Amino acid sequence: MTILDAHTHVFPQYADLAVEVMDRCGVERVVTLEWHDGFGDSLREHMKAFGRYPGRFVVFGNVDFSRINEPAFAQTAAEQMATDVDAGMRGLKVYKALGLEYREEKGDLWRVNDERLDPIWAKAGELGVPVLIHTADPPAFWQPVNESNFWNGVLHGEYAWWSYYRKGLPSIEELLAERNEVIRRHPDTTFICPHVGSRAATLDAAAEDLEEMPNLYYDISARIPIMGVSRRRSVRSREFLTECQDRVLFGTDLIYDDTNVPTGVQAQCLHQPGEIPLGDEDCRERYVETAVSFIRSHLDFLMTDTVQEDPPFRRTTRGYSIKGLGLPEEVCEKILFKNAQRLIDLG
């Protein structure tokens, strides 16, 4: 079966490491999402590095949000995007900072649905490249980090700042409503909302959004713990992915960068620093191993009904297991490759 991982972050200096992991798991291609500076000269330089592995990397770039408060920002960004698509960029990645971090000069947060940004979304549609836009986070990030919070094994120490509880930020529903307004306003643009559109814990709402907006797609990256945590959730996830089999992409959110490879533990496992040794000579090999087990965990979850007793995702302090979905082969083929092939120009 052909496998395309539609959500990774590969820093170009680690392309070889990513290819080693892909080969070990039978992943033919990955979409790598640039990290804020994926436009202009730096994008070209990165694409050159990935070009050493023909047919393995598809690059989604960025627009320069550091200039968001400059006059005519969106028009300039749209023009830059056209040039970058000419150079080989295959999609636009927008970080959750839109809605949660980018502020206007007077201090208010930029709204996701601000009409001044429309030229960017419209241009992506014209150019025929999808927008992978991350908005909000799991509802648990807005809730107290107590015993019943499924993310309580993560939202402390190094990751305490991920919690939005009582920080005066917009609610998850406000953010997702603004995002949906953008998607409705641009029916000719394809939007891929990662992490099941921040609705992995509420799949009824996720399915309703898909039904209402034909230009909306999801990826499942980093959300299989909640999708398989109980029998009830696993049954519902199976129904959801069967119903919406044409609208969901496989993704892992694997990260290969300088801050994480030296830890020897795939960043997405979300270990706290201090729990893992840094920079020893075997770290690269261990990083490969942990990335491989992370991918296999996703594939097993989709393709088999195995119960993973000790999944490689830190989440709740109580420990948990993931019940596999055992999806039919033709559904897996769509999620693992065919849907991405339809949406993304693979060159």
Q: Mask: binding to Zn ion, 326-345, rule CB under 5 A, as x and -?
A: --------------------
In the complex, minimum distance from the CB of residue 215 to Zn ion, in angstroms, rounded to a whole number: 21
3-state secondary structure the chain: CCCEEEEEEECHHHHHHHHHHHHHHCCCEEEEECCCCCCHHHHHHHHHHHCCCCCCEEEEECCCHHHCCCCCHHHHHHHHHHHHHHCCCCEEEECCHHHHCCECCCCCECCCCCHHHHHHHHHHHHHCCCEEECCCCCHHHHCCCCCCCCCCCCCCHHHHHHCCCCCCCCCHHHHHHHHHHHHHHCCCCCEEEHHHHCCCCCHHHHHHHHHHCCCEEEECCCCHHHHHCCHHHHHHHHHHHHHCCCCEECCCCEEECCCCHHHCCCHHHCCCCCCCCCCCCCHHHHHHHHHHHHHHHHHHHHHCCCEECCCCCCCCCCCCCEECCCCCHHHHHHHHHHHHHHHCCCC
In the complex, minimum distance from the CB of residue 33 to Zn ion, in angstroms, rounded to a whole number: 6
Nearer to Zn ion, 33 or 335 (CB): 33
Please state whether beta strands 4-10 and 29-33 pair in parallel, antiparallel, or not at all (unpaired): parallel
Nearer to Zn ion, 137 or 253 (CB): 253
Nearer to Zn ion, 223 or 323 (CB): 223
In the complex, minimum distance from the CB of residue 263 to Zn ion, in angstroms, rounded to a whole number: 18
Phi, psi of 248 (to 5 degrees): -125, 135
Nearer to Zn ion, 234 or 266 (CB): 266
Nearer to Zn ion, 5 or 253 (CB): 253
Q: Which two tokens stand for residue 38?
A: 């994926």
In the complex, minimum distance from the CB of residue 209 to Zn ion, in angstroms, rounded to a whole number: 20
Nearer to Zn ion, 132 or 216 (CB): 132
Q: Mask: binding to Zn ion, 252-291, rule CB under 5 A, as x and -?
A: -x--------------------------------------
Nearer to Zn ion, 6 or 331 (CB): 6
Kindly determine how many residues on this chain lie close enough to bind Zn ion according to the rule CB under 5 A: 1
In the complex, minimum distance from the CB of residue 92 to Zn ion, in angstroms, rounded to a whole number: 14
Q: Does 137 bind Zn ion (CB under 5 A)?
A: no
Pick out residues in 235-254 that bind Zn ion (CB under 5 A). Answer: 253
Q: Which two tokens stand for residue 26?
A: 């039978």
What span, in angstroms and rounded, lies between the C-alpha atoms of 141 and 138?
A: 6
Nearer to Zn ion, 73 or 294 (CB): 294
In the complex, minimum distance from the CB of residue 155 to Zn ion, in angstroms, rounded to a whole number: 18
In the complex, minimum distance from the CB of residue 134 to Zn ion, in angstroms, rounded to a whole number: 7
Q: Mask: binding to Zn ion, 161-180, rule CB under 5 A, as x and -?
A: --------------------
Q: Are the C-beta atoms of residues 11 and 287 closer than 8 Å to each other?
A: no
Nearer to Zn ion, 153 or 194 (CB): 194
In the complex, minimum distance from the CB of residue 7 to Zn ion, in angstroms, rounded to a whole number: 6
In the complex, minimum distance from the CB of residue 253 to Zn ion, in angstroms, rounded to a whole number: 4
Tell me the residue number closest to Zn ion, measured at CB: 253
Interface contacts to Zn ion, rule CB under 5 A: 253
